Amino acid sequence: MKQNSYSYEDLILCGKGELFGPGNAQLPQPPMLMFDRITEISESGGDYGKGGMTAELDINKDLWFFDCHFNEDPVMPGCLGVDAMWQLVGFYLGWLGGPGRGRALGSGQVKFTGQVLPSSKKVTYKVSLSRVIARKLYMGIADATMEVDGKTIYEATNLRVGLFTDTSAF
């Protein structure tokens, strides 16, 4: 039976290729791993009933990106939040049992209406799968939001991630 939540230690195992098996979906290792835990994952959840997940990142002033983005104006780069959403879609495909390595394939609209500062406490990602293609091409399409301390600050539509058994053509 599949787990419905994952600890930080589980996510590290995924990054080492030990969760879904060699050659299958992996998360990046820290510091590029952009969440600390997956609190909920299900095949019937999300806004469309086709799969959903929630993940969290604890914020503290010592996170690596605050020292370099920007000098004397520290803020989490928006691209890292979007990457976290892609990471989660790829994790979901691996969790389903899809074969191959994950690659981000694009997105629809991305909207930023806030920022993550060193004084923030927690980021919450919510991902809703709108479609999962499980044929020769294994791909997930999802909408996602990112909240900081309970306020939605990023919204992304039609995030696309595919799993590939051969990535040599990329």
Longest dimension (CA), the chain: 49
> Are 64 and 31 spatial neighbours (Cβ–Cβ below 8 Å)?
yes
Cα-based distances in Å from 85 to 73, 96, 119, 166, 169: 24, 17, 22, 23, 24
d(CA 170, CA 160): 16
Rg (C-alpha) for the chain, rounded Å, is 15
69 catalytically annotated? yes
Query: What would the DSSP string read from start to end of 105-131?
Result: EE-S-EEE-----TT--EEEEEEEEEE
Which tokens hold the place of 159? Answer: 């995030």
What does the block give as tokens for 126?
A: 């919510």
Find the catalytic residue in 69, 133, 134, 164. 69
The neighbouring-strand residues paired with 142 are: 129, 159
Contact 17, 87 (CB under 8 A): no
Catalytic residues: 69
